[in-house]
Structure 1
């Protein structure tokens, strides 16, 4: 294969992978490039010599597809309709003849077709049409997938060439997609008799939203669609089993832009041209139903994901049609619902963060908690919130993720802090280079001859954001040289806490001070004092439920130490079976871009303020929490409420900065305050759960997991035989059950009272 051909493709922005193709086995016997190492930005015409080897034997080629390039693959062996491609091409051409000028087409070795396109909004591989049994017929490939192509034996480019590819418009892309989806025969979510896919809402609004979705009229649903710019296609030809109504975006040439299901009150968008609304091409995988829009979700996206405005419009529409909705409590005055409050409100994050979390095979609550800490660290001292005169709030978080051993706490932590650790790694390499240079210059300075007048060089400073575990003295020394702030990352938080207690002096008090972000001073005999002004240092780590009480020593019960901690404490999921998975490249890139937009401003300090609407919302929530504070007769609730009222402002600031993306607004908007309030309520629920361990009212409060479920399932009075039978339901074996009964019956445990002899004992529950 000629090198010039590879160069030509690279100059077009493509990522060609030369290979040796075996015509007998119809497979690549070897690749001239390790294509797994190729990313969207590390392989181009300037460096392809570093990748390619043995080009002379190559007789085939593959294109590793990254946006804006993609391939519609028509796998006709999976359908009885061998004219399907011709029908699709005819439909596309009848709607917009210009499309054929912008694409290139080849036949494949299996009698199918590849249609290569150029469209900037492509992200990852997506299925367009499947057979009745789920066999893939049409799919779009991109996002790092490899497509074999001409001149590989069996592949023939017959319509246009690579250099003829031109960027498609949104409308042209919609035509390609909507014309392909027509051939899908598999699993229409509404064309069978199944219940429509459930749409998830924040628990604060769930009841009201479901009432609205289930009871609005067809006329109102049609008006909502019209407001989106969608209108009924009067001359659309329906199949016998079709239960949808075809809608078309105003001005579009496509056959349809959306399917509206009036029975289920759902709409599925197949156009990416309606700004602000999720559509088919935004799916991350086949089970992603975020584009399944209910009436409430239509209003939610119309109102730019602002739940307050959405709820107000729902009430206005309901009133206009005489629909009585059962009033819900406002988000600012929610009661504690422990079970529901343990559902993390993922919608507080931008979609890039939500997609990154959902792409992992770890428990998502862990990732979400570590994400908050990572964003806190990335922001650091670059922003503060002037909430009131003299009341400056920093996004400092003390975060504890509570999970049993082996529950992927550490991988979750590493995944979220990867973007910060990458920056720290680069700055460390720079520091090492500067340090070596400094040593050379210092040697020259010391060896200079008298009168040369060389100035003593300044030692370089190591910049970092992550401190891997630390005493307060070491943290303060590091913070002196990192005024924009750091985060202590303790893989096992219990060890960090024990060291804090073990060291003499005022270590714990200094960490209490650090939480407020003021000035920190360390003074020791015979040492120079260390002072950090305007300190910023978050803490994050994982901790096991069995050692959670390390936070609640007698001293901590009075100094409010654990009141400053946020707990992510979900019910552990079953450990999944081994499964290889890989987060799609575009999801990693999108997440990296979120962090990069924060890093860009990290050395610039600015002050945010609350918008009037955000201030009113916070004041209402704050005052309702004050009522609970004033009614409380013990210190724990008072301390927690006071600290979490502060945390709500910190969350609002973090969320605003994340959503600001590349441009800082310097104002906390009401919708991010609303998100912060819901997030704070989530942490109130988790603190409620953690307090059973930290400050138990009864010995039973210290039980957790299947031990607690087992205890609750036991009758008030029982024999060991009964207990063993009950224990089987909770995966507790007989010998372990007997051990628990013995332990719980001891006088110092006081969970059970045992009576009778060893062989005929009965047990009574004390609580």
Structure 2
């Protein structure tokens, strides 16, 4: 069999090509007409809102990149799904201490937004696989206990009517993930697992559409309270009522761009329900071809190990079996950075062009705290940090995540309200806006304006349009669309 030969630069070999023949070929080519020089390929336009995977610990970043390379999972979807799965594993075990009367848990409401066939569900399955396997194990234990219970019940026979005979305790199923559920069933599941349960919904539009289907307003109010970890109760059960004093019920699901309006119907954009959702929206996402690369099983094992560490975080309870989370305080440096960002966010909130965006920006303050808690504990699970306090690195990562979700929220708000702020401007200004980079300095913007023959005074007045631009710092601007 002929073996393929490999040669290094400078390596001699007996099969070197005949350079005299090469010279003759070059001479023939010189006689041909000189072709026109090839036009240089235009540089790829940078993504307007890339997902900041650098917010995650390096070990998690490697998994996100590997699934994108081998499985074609969009980075935004994998990262958001892993964030939600980590939050679910943490559950009611820990909170972030903001003030003596203010602690934030890790509850997230998230939606993966993309057209059909763009690989939304698979990243969810990957991220939640360790929790799903844990639920499988819990179910098999429950099924065995249920068979034993029913066998003992049958053996008691006539003794059932004898009040002195104490029968076996009926087993209950403790699970972490729910997908097809009613509000009553959800609260019962939560009562069996006070650490928390996560609603993983493949089609989020259907879930939202069914809210308040059988009552007037109660379902939405339930989710508004659950997001804030306020006590929820259900008194409509056929048996006894259920009261959850400290609910922990994250939501994550997929939704298509075309049905985003479903999230805002029936007043859901006015009562704060829509504001509570984080939207993962990759730019220009589409169905990808299969990759020849195979995901290294080490990434799957590592993610399962990190989740196992989070699931083993101890959860304290009080005399009523209500969770008493351990509070993590911010380090002095982390607290100063969080306050600095909160000041900037407050200015953006006060200057927001709509009440809807003000609501979004207000919720982002809460989410930044929650992100910092999750990132700190994730870093601990990856053996990259301690869990004595929330450190500066976790806060910096949380801010990056919040800024990403701020931009996607603005896109969703435009879709929901069916408006494009650029429509109110003339063609010249719309074209200028398209030519400007996503982030730019005043000098950079003036150069673009000069190329398009727009006077400096006109351009600087254009920069004051708050529905088009934000100014994160003096002399620096960012496009909002």
Q: Do they superpose with TM above 0.5?
A: yes
1:547 to 259, 267, 280: 259
Following superposition, the deviation at residue 473 of structure 1 comes to 2.1
Cα deviation digits, residues 133-191 of structure 1 (max 9, x gap): 9xxxxxxxxxxxxxxxxxxxxxxxxxxxxxxxxxxxxxxxxxxxxxxxxxxxxxxxxxx
Check the 8 A contact 1:434/1:460 in 2, yes or no. yes
Aligned length: 375
Change (3 A) 1:493 1:131: farther
Does 2:337 correspond to 1:617?
Answer: yes
Counterparts in 2 of 1:426 and 1:626: CA distance versus 1, 3 Å: same
Distance 2:129 2:289 in 1: 25
**Equivalent-residue separation in structure 2 for 1:409 and 1:132 (angstroms):** 45
Residues 454 and 700 (structure 1), Cα distance of their counterparts in 2 relative to 1, 3 Å cut: farther
Aligned to 1:635: 355
Whole-angstrom distance in 1 between the partners of 2:161 and 2:83: 57
1:507 to 219, 229, 237: 219
> 2:405 matched to which residue of 1?
683
Cα deviation, residue 449, structure 1 = 8.8
Q: Spell out, residue by residue over 1:303-327, the C-alpha distance to the aligned partner (whole angstroms, 9 max, x if none).
A: xxxxxxxxxxxxxxxxxxxxxxxxx
Secondary structure at the aligned position of 2:200 is classed as: strand
1:476 aligned residue: 187
Q: 1:651 matched to which residue of 2?
A: 371
Report Cα offsets for 1:613-671 as digits up to 9, x if no partner. 11111111111211222334642122111111000000000000100126862310011
User: TM-score, with normalisation over the residues of structure 1?
Assistant: 0.46
Residues 181-196 of structure 1: pairs in structure 2 closer than 5 A:
none
SS of equivalent to 1:464: coil
Q: Aligned partners of 2:63 and 2:310: how far apart in 1?
A: 17
* Match 2:328 to one of 608, 622, 638: 608
Correspondences of 1:154-165 after superposition (within 5 Å): none
> How far does residue 697 in structure 1 lie from its aligned partner after superposition?
3.2
CA contact (8 A) 1:385 1:393 kept: yes
SS at match of 2:236: coil
Q: Write the deviation string for residues 449-476 of structure 1: whole angstroms up to 9, x where unpaired.
A: 9989542211112111101133322211
Distance in 2 (alpha carbons) for counterparts of 1:553 and 1:79: 66
* Aligned equivalents of 2:97, 2:65: Cα separation in 1: 34
1:311-348 CA deviation, whole Å, 9 max, x = no partner? xxxxxxxxxxxxxxxxxxxxxxxxxxxx8662111122
Question: Residues 344 and 449 from structure 1, CA distance in 2 versus in 1: closer, same or farther, beyond 3 angstroms?
Answer: closer
Give the distance between the partners of 2:196 and 2:220, measured in 1 at CA.
Answer: 19
8 Å contact from structure 2 (residues 279, 405) kept in 1 = yes
| Distance (Å, rounded) in 1 between the aligned partners of 2:183 and 2:399 | 32
TM-score, length of structure 2 as denominator length = 0.72
3-state SS in 2 of match to 1:343: coil
Q: Map residues 29-428 of structure 1 onto 2, 5 A cutoff.
A: 131=8, 342-360=49-67, 361-428=72-139
SS at match of 1:550: helix
**Whose helix proportion is higher, 1 or 2?**
2
Give the one of 297, 303, 307 matched to 1:591: 303
Check 1:579–1:672 CA distance in 2 against 1; reply closer, same or farther (3 A cut).
Answer: closer
CA contact (8 A) 1:472 1:511 kept: no
CA pair 131-365 structure 1, distance change in 2 beyond 3 A: farther
Q: CA 1:511–1:635 in 2, change beyond 3 Å: closer, same or farther? A: same
Structure 1 residues 633 and 449, CA gap change in structure 2 (3 angstroms):
closer
- Aligned residue among 367, 383, 391 for 1:669: 391
1:492 aligns with 2:212: no
Counterpart residue number, 2:272: 560
Please, which runs of 5 or more residues in structure 1 have no aligned partner? 1-24, 26-75, 81-129, 134-338, 702-711, 714-767
* 3-state DSSP of counterpart to 1:640: helix
More displaced stretch, 660-669 vs 505-514: 660-669
Quick one: which of 453, 463, 471 aligns to 2:174? 463
Q: State the distance in 2 between where 1:450 and 1:467 align.
A: 37
Contact kept in structure 2, 1:381 and 1:484, CA below 8 Å:
yes
Per residue, is there more strand in 1 or in 2? 1
CA positional deviation for 1:445: 3.5
- The answer to which structure, 1 or 2, has the higher relative contact order (CA under 8 A, 6+ apart) is 2
- 1:520 alignment partner, one of 232, 239, 245: 232
Q: How far is 1:484 from its partner?
A: 0.4
CA contact (8 A) 1:549 1:694 kept: yes
List per-residue Cα deviations over 1:51-84 (Å, max 9, x = no partner).
xxxxxxxxxxxxxxxxxxxxxxxxx95557xxxx
Deviation at 1:699, TM superposition (A): 9.4
* Cα pair distance change 1:595/1:526, threshold 3 Å: closer
Contact 2:272–2:359 (Cα < 8 Å) also in 1: yes
Q: Which moved more, 1:622-631 or 1:644-653?
A: 622-631
Maintained 8 Å contact 2:184/2:237: no
